Amino acid sequence: MLLAETTNQAISWNRYTATAAFLIASVLLLLWRAIRHRPVLSFLFVAALLFTGGLLLSIFGLPYVNEHFSTSLGDAMMIAAMLGLTVDYFLKERVLREVSGDVSKYLIGYRLPAEVQDRIRWLLQTEWIRRNFHVRCRLTEIDESRVSLEITISEEIQNITSEPSVYQDFLEFERHDPTSVIELRCDCEDPKARYRIAGPDLQPKEKPDDPGVMQVQGKKVKIPPVHEAIGRTYNFAVRYVVEYPSQYSESINFSHATINVILEADCPNTYLFTASDADISGHNRWEYRRLFLPGESITFRWRRL
C-alpha cells in the first residue's frame, strides 16, 4: 500500500514537473521570437538563460546522472555566460572596430590617395540615411522685383546602426536672409516620436560655433535600428518662407547621405523654373534617383519671363 502511494506521488510529481517545464519552455520560446531581431537583447537573453541553467544544474543536478558531472556542467555553463558577457563581447567589438577602421579603406580604396581613403572610412561610419527626400516650392509674386518662396522639405530618416540613436531635425539659414519658419514636425506610428512645433515656439537662434548662421531645431527623437523599426517610418518635415529677387537661385544642401530626391515647383506661368540635371524631369518636376553624399547639393533657379 505504501509502495503504491509512493509510486502515485512520484507519477504526480513527474507530471507537474513536465507541465512546468513545458510552460517555461513555451514562455522562453515566445520571448525569443519577440527579441530575435534585436541583437543586443538576444545576446543578453541567451547569456542569462545559460547562466540560469548552469546555476540550476549546480544546485539540483540532473536525474539519473552522476552528481559530479551535473555540477561540473553547471559550473561550465555559468563560466561561459560570464565570459560571454564580459571578455568575449567587448573583445570582439574592439577587434571589429579596429579591423574595420584600419583595413576596410585599403580593401575598398586600394592605391587611392590617403585623403580619399579617409573619406571612404568616414562614409563607412555613417549612422543616418535619408530616403524619399521631397522638396516642394511654391512661388508667389510680391511685385515685379520680389517673390515669396514657400519651401516644404520632407524626408524619411533611417538609423542604420545596431543600436537606438537620438536624431534631431534642424533648419539653418543665413542671418541676412528674410526667412520665416512656419513649422517643424515628425510624423510616425510611434506616439512618443510624433511632434509639431509652430508659431511662437519656433524662435531661431544663432549658432555659437558659426556666427551669422541661424538655426531652428526640432525635438530629439529616439530612433531604433532599421531592422527593428519594421512597420514604422520616421518622417520629418520643415516648412518655411523666404523672400527673394524675381531672378535668383537657391540650393538645398545635404547634411546626411540621401537617397531618392524629388523637387517640385508651383509657380505662375510668367516665371521659368529650372533645376540641376535630374534622372527624370517633367514640367516643374525633377527626380534624382541616386545617392547624394553629405556636402553635396542641388540648385534650382527662377526668373520672370
Write the secondary structure of 234-268 as one string of H (helix), E (strand) and C (coil): EEEEEEEEEEEECCEEEEEECCCEEEEEEEEEECC
Residue 184's nearest CA partner among 175, 173, 194, 192 is 194
Which comes out higher in pLDDT, residue 57 or 32?
57
Maximum Cα–Cα distance for the chain, whole Å?
Answer: 111
As given in the structure block, the three cell numbers for residue 103 are 583595413
pLDDT in tens, 116-145: 777 777 777 889 999 999 999 999 999 989
Which comes out higher in pLDDT, residue 254 or 56?
254
Check residue 68 and give its pLDDT. 74
Residues 6+ apart with CB under 8 A from 179: 173, 204, 214, 240, 241, 242
Q: Looking at 78-82, 187-191, 245-249, which range is the least confident one?
A: 78-82
What 8-state DSSP symbol labels residue 169? Answer: E
Residue 137's nearest CA partner among 282, 293, 252, 278 is 252
Q: What is the DSSP code string of 97-158?
A: HHHHHHTHHHHHSTTS-HHHHHHHHHHHT--EEEEEEEEEEEEEESSSSEEEEEEEEEEEEE
Three-state secondary-structure class, residue 301: strand
5: pLDDT confidence band, cut at 50, 70 and 90? Answer: very low
Check residue 6 and give its pLDDT. 47
53: pLDDT confidence band, cut at 50, 70 and 90? Answer: confident
pLDDT in tens, 61-93: 766 667 777 777 778 878 877 777 776 666 666
Which comes out higher in pLDDT, residue 5 or 260?
260
289: pLDDT confidence band, cut at 50, 70 and 90? Answer: very high
Report whether pLDDT(250) > 70.
yes
As given in the structure block, the three cell numbers for residue 187 are 510624423
97: pLDDT confidence band, cut at 50, 70 and 90? Answer: low
Q: What is the mean pLDDT of residues 14-22?
A: 57
What burial letters (b/e) apply to 169-187, b meaning 16+ CB within 10 Å?
bebebeeeeebebebbbbe
Q: Which residue has the cell 581613403?
A: 117
Report whether pLDDT(181) > 80.
yes
Q: What is the mean pLDDT of residues 102-122?
A: 69
Residue 296 and residue 212: Cα distance in Å, rounded? 21
Cα-to-chain-centroid distance, residue 302: 36
- Is the Cβ–Cβ distance between 143 and 270 less than 8 Å? no
Check residue 244 and give its pLDDT. 94
The order of strands in the sheet holding 213-223 is: 165-174, 213-223, 205-206
Check residue 138 and give its pLDDT. 97
Which comes out higher in pLDDT, residue 54 or 214?
214
Report whether pLDDT(259) > 90.
yes
Residue 217's nearest CA partner among 250, 173, 161 is 173
Q: Looking at 1-15, 111-125, 260-274, which range is the least confident one?
A: 1-15
Report whether pLDDT(8) > 60.
no
Percent of the chain at pLDDT > 70 equals 76
46: pLDDT confidence band, cut at 50, 70 and 90? Answer: confident
Report whether pLDDT(158) > 90.
yes
Report whether pLDDT(182) > 90.
yes
274: pLDDT confidence band, cut at 50, 70 and 90? Answer: very high
- Is the Cβ–Cβ distance between 276 and 254 less than 8 Å? no
Check residue 177 and give its pLDDT. 87
